[in-house]
Structure 1
Amino acid sequence: MQLAFWLNLLFSIVEFIGGWFTNSLAIMSDALHDFGDALAIGMAWRLERHAKKEADRKFSYGYRRFSLLGAFINAVILIVGSVIILSQALPRLWSPEPVHAEGMFGLALLGVAVNGFAAWRLRNDKTQNARVLAWHLYEDLLGWVAVLVASIVMLIKSMPILDPLLSVLITLWILYNVLRHFKQTANLFLQGVPDSVSLDDIETELKKIAGVVDCHHTHLWSLDGEHHVLTTHLVVGEQTDKQERQQIKKAVRALMPHWQITHSTIEFEWASDDCSMADREQGKC
């Protein structure tokens, strides 16, 4: 992330200068977008480092949710930046201005190289924060490919409307994907069940374990989109002894990696126990 931050910051400065020189709104818009990306990546870099701190008495689950906070803020930055870009690009559709196609072509080549390399560097990071950052970079990469194609067309034939049209299309595509990721991030931030996991499937598999009669009060949430937390109550037979409970715990732990669950808390109950939690779930209380 550190390298991606410096690449985006330096390149956004180059873009501002190049956009002014070429009179290209598409490039100026992307310069604003890249500058926002640089700030977002810089913040995410710091939060990601903070997220790797070990658990302590203040944050007993560790600091991984700081990474999720970075993803949430990054999505907001992208949404605001997209609205600003649209407000500038739409009026130019009715009154396009001439652009410097040669300069656009050169900047587009540089943009493809910089954003492509930065996206490649983040390819193995699977946190929600990294996914949002990767979208920053993939969208920029696609945008520069489009600018490259448009500049080639304008080198052959003067079509200044391609510049604002390209800016609008890129921004709308970015906005669509960011809103989709924003929804996922907000769901995780509000401790919703991750989209990749089904609570019903988990309970079904838990009930298949030998010795488990039933399970209820099952809760699942995610620390950062990659590391999940599970709590559940398992009902066992009246004659279940300590050794059998240990076997059940071992079977549960064996299932956890499949759902990317890194923290699990299990409470055993006997069928004759009166569990107020189960009553609440069934609407009895």
Structure 2
Amino acid sequence: MPAKENSEKRAEENIRLAFFLNLIFTIIEFIGGFYTGSLAIIADAVHDMGDSFSLGLSWIFEHIAKEGRTERYSYGLKRLSLLSALINAVVLIIGSVFILSQAIPRLFVPGEPNAAGMFILAIFGVIINGAAAYRVYGGKSLNEKLVTWHLLEDFFGWMAVLIVSTIMYFWNLPVLDPILSIIITIFIFYNVVRNLKEVLVIFLQGVPREVSVTEVESALNNIQDITDVHDIHIWSLDGEHHIITLHVVIDKNCTFNDINRIKCSVKRTAKRLGIDHATIEIEKEGELCEMTEDEEY
């Protein structure tokens, strides 16, 4: 099996495993959260519910995306992962607002959570999320990287619950539970908004943050026989596969073989700068270009 296909199969298997682990533990969290009366655990359960939804979509979309391009979808369906991220962000934002609305009043009238029950759940949370994060750690696909981040987030969140439940077991400080739930929720909300911003940039065909248009333009202008490049558009298909379209002006004396050499050099340079797919329009010096500076695209 080719390395790329093997990597895609591994990514799908890892995301599937993470989905089932997350889903099972989310159910346990909700039951345990209501049983112990811990808002911090319920807050994390809401977060994990969003993660489970996202992981489920990611697993399905990872499988569908392997089918490649079709007559209707010439770029394939890799952007489904962005749709998954967008839906997940909305779910988590709604969940975060709900948890904050419940946690803030509890700062003034804290409940009495079951510290021993919280401690036991925290042990399971650390083990399960730690094992799942270890399984997907080092994945190459964008989905695997996002899944790893979510699982590590959960792992450290449960470490916090473990510490707080231990403190509450020895000291009567029930206010620590709503404080922890607010901290977890704000942390989640911050990362969701940050990820949502990246998703919107991709949907709006913004230049990927790891790619510099100036650097690309400079590198291309250094290729032999290229006198100018213009009308450069760089965007990302799914946050992982980047695309460039551009006009390349070459020396008017270039032969057909020179043009082939230049196109290959442009594609190699683009690949080196993190761009997977290049569409090039060649123009010779003095040739009229339909794309003028006053056009909007």
Instruction: Tell me which of 63, 69, 72 is aligned to 1:49.
Output: 63
Match of 1:218, SS? strand
The structure 1 residue matched to 2:199, chosen from 185, 191, 207, is: 185
Contact 1:193 1:221 survives alignment (8 Å): yes
Residue in structure 2 matching 1:265, options 279, 282, 287: 279
Asked if 1 retains the 8 angstrom alpha-carbon contact of 2:202 and 2:236, the reply is yes
Could you list the per-position Cα deviations for residues 202-238 of structure 1 after superposition, in whole angstroms to 9, with x for gaps in the alignment?
A: 1111001010000001111111111111111000011
Q: Does 1:67 align with 2:81?
A: yes
1:12 maps to 2:26: yes
2:49 paired with 1:35: yes
What's the TM-score once normalised by structure 2's chain length? 0.90
1:121 aligned partner:
135
2:289 equivalent among 262, 275, 280: 275
| Cα deviation code 1:41-64 (max 9, x no counterpart) | 111211122122211211111211
Instruction: State the alpha-carbon separation in 1 of the partners of residues 97 and 136 from structure 2.
Output: 26
Question: Aligned-pair distance for 1:39?
Answer: 1.6
Number of positions where the alignment pairs a residue of Structure 1 with one of Structure 2: 283
In the TM superposition, residue 125 of structure 1 has moved relative to its aligned partner by 3.4
Q: Does 1:102 align with 2:82?
A: no
Which AA in structure 2 matches 1:178?
V
Q: Which amino acid aligns with 2:177?
A: D
SS of the residue aligned with 1:145?
helix
1:175-209 deviation line (CA, Å, top 9, x unaligned): 11111111111101221111111111111110010
Q: Give the alignment's Cα RMSD to 1 decimal.
A: 1.7
Out of 160, 184, 190, which is 2:174 matched to?
160
Is the CA contact 1:69–1:189 (under 8 Å) kept in the aligned structure 2?
A: no
Distance (whole Å) between structure 2 residues aligned to residue 120 and residue 224 of structure 1: 25
The equivalences for 1:210-225 within 5 A come to 210-225=224-239
Give the counterpart of 1:151 among 154, 162, 165: 165
Deviation at 1:278, TM superposition (A): 3.5
**What are structure 2's unaligned runs of at least 5 residues?**
1-14
Structure 1 partner of 2:185: 171
- Percent identity among equivalent residues? 47
Equivalent-residue separation in structure 2 for 1:263 and 1:272 (angstroms): 28
Q: Residues 223 and 262 of structure 2 are in contact (CA less than 8 Å); yes or no, is this contact kept in structure 1?
A: yes
* Alpha-carbon contact 2:267-2:277 (below 8 Å) kept: no
